[in-house]
Structure 1
Amino acid sequence: MFSFYSHFKRKRNFAGLKDETYKFLFEEDKSDEFVVFDTETTGLNPKVDDILSIGAVKIKDNKILTSQTFEVYVKNTKEISSKSIEIHGIRTCDLKNAKKSDEAIKEFLHFIGSRRLVGYYLEFDVSMINKYTLPMLGIKLPNKMIEVSELYYDAQITTIPQGNIDLRFDTMLKKYNIPNMGIHNAVNDAVMTGMIFLKLQNAR
C-alpha cells in the first residue's frame, strides 16, 4: 500500500516537470552516494521565509567527501531578523555577491542529482527547497530522504524503551564524541550531520 502510494506520488510529481533537462532527478541513482545538506534561512516558516544559503557534502564508502562540498549564498530582498542573524550570522551585506535564487537552486539540483538526501530535521530544508522548485520546475524534490533524528531515536529506544529521547543536535554530537565545528553555517552543519549519520550507520 505504502510503496504503491509512493510510486503514485512520484509519478504525479514527474508529470508536473516543466523542464526535461531536469528529469535526471527522477533517474535511478547509480553513484552509491548520499548527500547531506542544510539550509540557512530568514526564519522557520517555508511559506514566508527565504533561503539565505545552502550547504551540502557527499558521502561514499563510509567517508565524507570533504573535497566535494557545495556552498551557495542566495540573494534576498527581505529584511533578515536579528534573531536569525544570531543563529547563522548572515547579514544583508554578506549577500552582496550572492546568486539569484533560480541559479542557486539549479546548481544545488545538479550537485545532488538523484542521490539519497540526509539531514537533521530534513523535512524543513526540503520544504524550503520545494518552495523554489515548484514554481520554477513544477516539481518537489523526488529524492529518497533519510532523517538522522529518526535513526538516532530508533537506536536509542532499544536502550531506553520508556525513556524520553533527547533529539537535540548537540546531544547527538556529544553522544558520538563528534567535535562541534563551532561556526554555525550550512556546510559545517552538513558535515557534522554526516558524521552523526555515519556513526548511526556503523552502529547497526
Structure 2
Amino acid sequence: MLSRLSLRLRIFLFFCLLAAGALAVSSIALWISYQRAADPDLASAFVFAEILMGFGFVALIAAVWLLFDDNVAKPIERLSAQLRARAHAGVSTDVDMQAARYLGDLAPAAAGLADQLSGKTMDVAEAVAVETAHLAAEKQRLTALLTEIPVAMVLASPTHKIVLYDGQAAGVLAQIAHPRLNASLFEYLQPAPLEQAFKKLTKTGLEVTCTLISIDGAQTYSARMKPLGDAPGYLLLFDESSANIAPDAARPLVYDFDLLHSDAEDRFDTLALSDLCFVVFDTETTGLLPHKDEIVQIGAVRVVNGRIVEGEQLDMLVDPGMPIPAASTKVHKVNDRMVEGAPDIGEAGRVFHQFARNAVIVAHNAPFDMAFLRRHAKRMNVDWDHPILDTVLLSAVLFGASDQHTLDALCDRLQITIPENLRHTALGDAVATAQALVKMLPMLQARGMTTFGEVIEATRKHGRLLEDLN
C-alpha cells in the first residue's frame, strides 16, 4: 500500500510517526515519574511539562521535516523526473545540480550515467535515422505511384476502421465528416452495403464491385473492394465519376499500418495507452468566465499510436455572438472582423464532437475548456461523455506537484518550442500540448502506468491543482 504513495508523502508519514512516537514516549515517561512522585499536587505541573514537551517535539520534528522535504525529498523527485524525461521523452537538458546539491554524489553520478547512456545510444539513433530516411524515400515513391491512380483509396481493417487514406479519399470522406485514422467507416457509409461487400470478399477472396451510400443517404458511390493478400483488411477504391474526384489533385497519404492489427474494443479504462486515440484541443475565448464568456476559436489535433497524425487537425474560428473585448484580442489576436460569417458554437461544437468521436479528449486545464463546451451541449445536440485527460495532472504525476505546471513550464521541461506567433492561438497551443502528451506517454509507461485507468487513478491524487487553477 505504501509503495503506491509518492516519496514525499511517505517521508511526511514517517515524520508524523516519529512525532507520535516522541509524544508517546514523553507521556509515558512523565506518567511514570508522576506515579513515583506520589504527590497529587504535582499533577498540573506534569501536565504543563507534557504540553511544553509536546509542542517542542512537534515544532522540532516539523522543522526537520520541512528541511528534509526541501533539500532531499523534492530534489530526489525532481531528479527522478529529469532522468525519466531523458530516458523516455528524448529530452537532453542537463540535470539540475543546484537543486540536488544536498544529495551528495547522487546527482553527479546520475548525470554521468545518463550522459554515458546517451552517448551509447547515438549509434542506435544514427542507424534509426538512416532507416527513417530510407522509409521516407519509400513513402515518396509510394505517393508518386498512387498519384497515377485516378481513384480515391481507403485502406481499412477487418473491423472497418480506417488505416490509410489519400488526399482524394479525404475529399470524399470530408463531404460526410472529417476524415480520421482509426475511425469506423460506418461513421461515413451505411453499414449494410459495406458489410455485404466485405462478406462476399471474404468468401471469394476476389475483388468485389459495390455501391455504397453515405450515412445520411444523400450521396451514392460506385466502389471496388480489393483484398490485401495475406494481410488483414481490404482496400476500398472510389470511382472517379461518382465521387467527384479531381485526378490531378495532390494526393498526400495519411496512414498507420499498425491499425490493421488493432481490434481493441474494450472499455477505455482497461485499454493500453498505446491502443488509445487522443484528440488534443484548446480554445480561445472572449474572457475567463465559462458561465458567461464565449469561445472564439477551437484548435485540435489527433494522436494515434503515440504520434501526432499530420493532416488531421481542426482550426476553426467561432462567432461568439458578442463583441470580443480588446483585452482578449490582445492575447489571442482574434477580433470581431475575423469571426464575421464563422459558424456559431452550436455548429462548431458538433464538428469538434465528431472529430473527437471514440477518442480521449486531452487539454491543458481541461475543466476550463470543457466548461464552455458543456454549457452549450443542448445547443449542439450532443453529449460530452468522452473520457478526459488533463496534461496539468500528467505533469504533476511525472514531475511532482510542487513544480510549475503551466503549459510554458511543461514545454520548457520537455524541450518543446512554441513559435511566438502561435502562442495563445488555439491550434498552436493544441499542437504544443499534443507534443507534450506524446513525450509523456512513454514516461507514464516507464512508471508502470500502462492502461488508461491506471493513469486516471494517478491523476486523481492531484485534482486540487485544477481547483487552484480555476
Query: Normalised by the shorter chain, which TM-score bucket?
Result: 0.7 to 0.9
Q: How many residues in Structure 1 have an aligned counterpart in Structure 2?
A: 173
Counterpart mapping for 1:20-35 below 5 A: 32-35=276-279
Counterpart mapping for 1:114-129 below 5 A: 114-129=358-373
Q: Which residue of 2 aligns with 1:147?
A: 390
Aligned sequence identity (%): 24
Q: Distance in 2 between matches of 1:67 and 1:74?
A: 21
Q: Which amino acid aligns with 2:278?
A: F
Tell me, yes or no, if the aligned pair for 1:85 and 1:91 is still in contact at 8 Å: yes
Structure (1/2) with the larger helix percentage? 2
Q: Which amino acid aligns with 2:442?
A: N
Counterpart mapping for 1:157-196 below 5 A: 157=400, 164-182=402-420, 183=422, 184-196=424-436
Q: CA deviation at 1:136?
A: 4.0
Q: Distance in 2 between matches of 1:33 and 1:136?
A: 23
Q: Distance in 2 between matches of 1:84 and 1:74?
A: 14
Counterpart mapping for 1:47-196 below 5 A: 47-137=291-381, 140-157=383-400, 164-182=402-420, 183=422, 184-196=424-436
CA RMSD of aligned residues (A): 2.2
SS of equivalent to 2:322: coil
Q: CA deviation at 1:101?
A: 2.2
Out of 73-82 and 116-125, give the one that drifted further.
73-82
Tell me, yes or no, if the aligned pair for 1:28 and 1:114 is still in contact at 8 Å: no
Give the TM-score normalised by structure 2. Answer: 0.35
Q: Which amino acid aligns with 2:402?
A: N
Q: Which residue of 2 aligns with 1:16?
A: none
| Structure with more relative contact order (C-alpha pairs < 8 Å, separation 6 or more) | 1
Tell me, yes or no, if the aligned pair for 1:178 and 1:192 is still in contact at 8 Å: yes
Tell me, yes or no, if the aligned pair for 2:349 and 2:380 is still in contact at 8 Å: no
Q: CA deviation at 1:135?
A: 4.2
Q: Distance in 2 between matches of 1:141 and 1:77?
A: 22
Q: Which amino acid aligns with 2:340?
A: K
Tell me, yes or no, if the aligned pair for 2:284 and 2:295 is still in contact at 8 Å: yes
Tell me, yes or no, if the aligned pair for 2:345 and 2:380 is still in contact at 8 Å: no
Q: CA deviation at 1:132?
A: 1.2
Q: 1:70 to 1:177 in 2, by over 3 A?
A: same
**What per-residue deviation string (whole Å, max 9, x for no partner) do you get for residues 142-168 of structure 1?**
0001011101111112xxxxx731111
**What per-residue deviation string (whole Å, max 9, x for no partner) do you get for residues 46-99 of structure 1?**
110011011100001111113100121111231211221111100000112311
Q: Which residue of 1 aligns with 2:443?
A: 203
Q: Where in structure 2 are there 5+ consecutive unaligned residues?
A: 1-214, 216-265, 445-470
**What per-residue deviation string (whole Å, max 9, x for no partner) do you get for residues 92-121 of structure 1?**
001123112221111111111131011100
Q: Which residue of 1 aligns with 2:158?
A: none
Q: Which residue of 2 aligns with 1:3?
A: none
Q: Distance in 1 between matches of 2:344 and 2:379?
A: 15
Q: Distance in 2 between matches of 1:195 and 1:136?
A: 29
Q: Which residue of 2 aligns with 1:11?
A: none
Q: CA deviation at 1:140?
A: 4.5
Task: Extract structure 1 runs of 4+ deviating beyond 6 A.
Answer: 27-31
Q: 1:92 to 1:168 in 2, by over 3 A?
A: same
Q: Which amino acid aligns with 1:131?
A: R
Give the TM-score normalised by structure 1. Answer: 0.78
